[in-house]
Structure 1
Amino acid sequence: MSEIQREILSVGDLNRAIASSLEERFDTVWVSGEISNFKAYDSGHWYFSLKDEEGQIRCVMFRGRNGQVGFMPQSGDLVEVAANLGFYVPRGDIQLTVQSMRRAGMGGLYEAFLKLKAKLANEGVFDAENKQSIPTHPRSIGIITSPQAAALKDVLSTLARRAPHIPIVIYPTLVQGPDAPAGIISALKAAEKENAVDVILLVRGGGSIEDLWAFNDEQLAYAIAASPIPIVSGVGHETDVTIADFVADLRAPTPTGAAELAAPRRDQLLQELDAIMQALLQRVNQRVEREAQTLDQLALRLSHALPNPDRMREQIQGWQKRLNQAWLVRMENWKRDQGHFQSQLEMLNPQRTLERGYAVILSKNKAELQAVRKPSELQVKNIYQVQLAEGQVEVQFSEVNQLESK
């Protein structure tokens, strides 16, 4: 092919071809290295290079992605990044477009964090229906943290400013190191046993993932979920996320934020109480005025409709006469009914039947007297009692012959 027939590419076309080829060749890659020439622009984007002893490569991490990093990188930091390999056409440079970043050596911890998070999520530990509401006006507030932690000073300062009237109970414990999870669980149990606080603040200052790892403990997660006292988690900075944050009834971005969420502002409460008092006074005044107007109307009606004593006396006499008449009629009806019932009872009296010449034969059956109703119930040599109109006798039959009924 002659030089005239060969296609001649512009620099931009060549760079775009290289960029397309690289994007097709490489998927997302993990790269580790040391940060150099780090710059954070006002736009929120980060530009830096990753280098090691054998080379370096330019990197860019856009604002939408770097907001999830959780720390501010600096030149000299060793990091691991997940990135797409690309080619910056205007400058002709190969660069990494970083999607996520973590400190070097954090991969194992992060994987353990994700694994535990998925497990607890599947068990429903994070479900919203399991979370308790935070009391708006707690009678007392508990704090679980290290007595030497700077976070404790911030929390106490915030509570003293916002709600100095609320008592504070501190449950000291380690918040870093292998013994910290057991210590935090013991503090939770102590708070539950005392039952002296209405809400618990679980707080600690910021740090690396290793520093905050105690709050990613599985047993601690179960203890927080089982706590009968509502828990507000304020661990680390706003970008720090732990398992305790997911399990807690409410997550605050910082320890100070946890104090603000748990304690109402005293001056705001006073303003609300003053507003309620003014509203009540207004309602009371309105009610008094309305009732006073009603009383005036009733007094006016009463002055125009005074009762007539003579007429009321006549009405009373008429009612008394009607009452007496009604009572007499009722008594006559009762007497008549009583006579009727008495005559019916007299007709049903069995003594009257005996007086007409009849008798009742009674047999002893299991120590009880029962009337004989059939000829077959009469047995020879058995003793029977015969009830007559004027007394009773005992008889014994020597012979019983049953007659045919006519």
Structure 2
Amino acid sequence: MNNSAISLYELNSLIKGVLSDSIPERLWIRAEMSDVRVNQNGHCYLEFIEKDQSGRTLVAKVRGMIWANTFYLLRSYFENATKQSFSSGLKVLVQVSVDFHELYGLSLTVYDIDPSYTLGDQALNRAAILKQLEEDGVLYLNKELELPLPTNRIAIISSPTAAGYEDFLDQLHKNAFGFVFYTKLFPAIMQGDRAEDSVISALERIYEYQDCFDVVVIIRGGGATSDLSCFDSYLLAASCAQFSLPIITGIGHERDETVLDIVAHTRAKTPTAVAEFLINNLAETALELAEISQDIVSSVVQRLQEENVKLNVFETKNSFVLKGWYREQQTILSSSKVVLIRGMQRIQRENMNKFDLLEEVLSKKSQQMLKMNEERFLQIEESLNRNTQRLLKDESNKLQILEKHIQLSSPENILKKGYTLTMKAGKVIKQSEVLKSGDEITTCFSDGQIDSIVK
């Protein structure tokens, strides 16, 4: 056994000590912000990244955080100065302290920011792409397409192993209305340098069978914002903007918006949100068809009543000449009315079934929302309990430290160390010049006191 070996904790402690001794307490760094998010307590968590000269490959990445009170001031200061939101993709100049924890590793704590150091390469690239698309006249082309009715033939571009793809299919095919959707996957790489070519290739394959589909769905689960940079591509955005079918995207969390999201016909925040959009769209179509059907039935009934009145008038005026003919037409009309009434009754039953289904779905949705809110309140209550216990523990520790400090600083403790206390008339003597010959003084020791006269 090697006796010189040290534990991992000891190694990390050494690293922490070296960093503390060799790096200034605070220093300014240049970096690009990624995956910026704010928790419920107001603290901001993010990643600082740096790319190579091509702007496509990460060469450095480290975790960062800004405490809530600092973040509130910095964000307001930065946004007022730059007229843009404090978000991912911006290259910033920030003052940080370098922190290394034995368990959580390296991180940077932000204390200040220089607003004059503005947009990063990622945001500049995105702005340039959008400007070029607008100048080319294709930025809003896909948004101008109308969704076919019904919209239930879906071409999907996604990684076949992605959890977001499975969630999308599960949400779509298990919808409460029982709607049938026809889906076809066109596999593609959804992350990294090869994603752009892979998605464009999938679009080209869909174009060969475009008559078989109503829309194209591009989905990918959430992740770090830096992982979504492949969707800020001019070629990919131009291909989607000019595509002959409407494109719906769900390629990140709600806080992420790529160039592809901007040019797409419709943008949803997640793959399951895309499925919900398609289901709701089909539900609206079904409801419109039911309303149209009801309008047709009402119109037919009204027309029959009007024609019946006309026939009665005609019969009165021409009862002698057209009596036989009228009977024949009356029989035909009665048969037609029976057929129409039965048809109307069938349509009304079908509509009532659909309305019952809609009512059941709304009830389930309401129950789900109530359950989600209850879970949310429980989480908030648990968080408040944890924070209260932590604060009480912190304050208890502070009181113990103060009590210890007071004990160590007490006169009795000081006298025990060999010091004495000289008093005159009950007052402590701090300077010799206040005494004169003949004064009576008392000298206090840890174990008693002695009275003396000054000579």
When normalised by structure 1's length, the TM-score is 0.51
Q: 1:101 to 1:291 in 2, by over 3 A?
A: farther
Aligned counterpart for 2:204 among listed residues 186, 189, 204: 189
SS at match of 2:70: strand
Q: Verify the 8 A CA contact 1:215 1:244 in the aligned structure 2.
A: yes
Number of residues of Structure 1 aligned to a counterpart in Structure 2: 250
Aligned counterpart for 2:87 among listed residues 69, 73, 89: 69
Q: Tell me what 1:211 maps to.
A: 227
What do the CA deviations read for 1:98-146 (whole angstroms, capped 9, x no partner)? 98999xxx94333333332332233233135873222241251111010
Which stretches in structure 2 are left out of the alignment for 5+ residues?
1-27, 48-61, 96-110, 323-455
* Correspondence list, 1:222-237, <5 A: 222-237=238-253
1:147 has 2:193 as partner: no
Q: Tell me what 2:25 maps to.
A: none
Distance in 2 between the 1:268 and 1:100 partners? 49
SS at match of 2:192: coil
Q: 1:185 to 1:284 in 2, by over 3 A?
A: same
Q: Which amino acid aligns with 2:252?
A: G
Distance in 1 between the 2:291 and 2:92 partners? 55
Give 1:161 shift. 3.3
Q: Which amino acid aligns with 2:309?
A: Q
Distance in 2 between the 1:235 and 1:132 partners? 21
Aligned counterpart for 1:180 among listed residues 179, 186, 195: 195
What do the CA deviations read for 1:320-366 (whole angstroms, capped 9, x no partner)? xxxxxxxxxxxxxxxxxxxxxxxxxxxxxxxxxxxxxxxxxxxxxxx
What do the CA deviations read for 1:294-321 (whole angstroms, capped 9, x no partner)? 1001000113889xxxxxxxxxxxxxxx
What do the CA deviations read for 1:75-111 (whole angstroms, capped 9, x no partner)? xxxx965789xxxxxxxxxx75898999xxx943333
Query: What is the root-mean-square deviation in Å for CA atoms of aligned residues?
Result: 4.4
Give 1:206 shift. 1.5
1:257 has 2:268 as partner: no
Aligned counterpart for 1:302 among listed residues 309, 318, 326: 318
Q: Which amino acid aligns with 1:224?
A: C
Q: Tell me what 1:280 maps to.
A: 296
SS at match of 2:249: strand
Distance in 1 between the 2:276 and 2:208 partners? 26
1:125 has 2:143 as partner: no
Q: Tell me what 1:158 maps to.
A: 171
Select the structure that is richer in helix.
2
What do the CA deviations read for 1:272-291 (whole angstroms, capped 9, x no partner)? 44443333222222221221
Q: Verify the 8 A CA contact 1:83 1:99 in the aligned structure 2.
A: no
Q: Tell me what 2:309 maps to.
A: 293
Distance in 2 between the 1:59 and 1:216 partners? 31
Q: Verify the 8 A CA contact 2:231 2:260 in the aligned structure 1.
A: yes
Which stretches in structure 1 are left out of the alignment for 5+ residues?
1-28, 72-78, 85-94, 307-406
Q: 1:100 to 1:70 in 2, by over 3 A?
A: farther
Q: Tell me what 1:116 maps to.
A: 129
% same residue:
27
Aligned counterpart for 1:168 among listed residues 183, 203, 208: 183
* Correspondence list, 1:39-54, <5 A: 40=39, 46=43
Q: Verify the 8 A CA contact 1:202 1:234 in the aligned structure 2.
A: yes
Distance in 2 between the 1:69 and 1:101 partners? 14
Distance in 2 between the 1:152 and 1:133 partners? 25
Worse-superposed segment, 156-165 or 240-249: 156-165
Q: Tell me what 1:244 maps to.
A: 260
Distance in 1 between the 2:196 and 2:46 partners? 38
* Correspondence list, 1:76-87, <5 A: 81=92
What do the CA deviations read for 1:26-76 (whole angstroms, capped 9, x no partner)? xxx987699xxx98557xx557999x9xxx9962337986986369xxxxx
Q: Verify the 8 A CA contact 1:212 1:242 in the aligned structure 2.
A: yes
What do the CA deviations read for 1:192-251 (whole angstroms, capped 9, x no partner)? 002221100011111223311221222212221232122112210111111111222222
Q: 1:198 to 1:174 in 2, by over 3 A?
A: same
Q: Tell me what 2:381 maps to.
A: none
Q: Tell me what 1:135 maps to.
A: 148
Larger Rg: 1
What do the CA deviations read for 1:129-171 (whole angstroms, capped 9, x no partner)? 8732222412511110100111111211222134641211111
Distance in 2 between the 1:304 and 1:100 partners? 100
SS at match of 2:217: strand
* Correspondence list, 1:81-96, <5 A: 81=92, 96=112
Q: Verify the 8 A CA contact 1:126 1:247 in the aligned structure 2.
A: yes
SS at match of 1:303: coil
Q: Verify the 8 A CA contact 2:248 2:266 in the aligned structure 1.
A: yes
Q: 1:47 to 1:237 in 2, by over 3 A?
A: closer
Q: 1:168 to 1:228 in 2, by over 3 A?
A: same
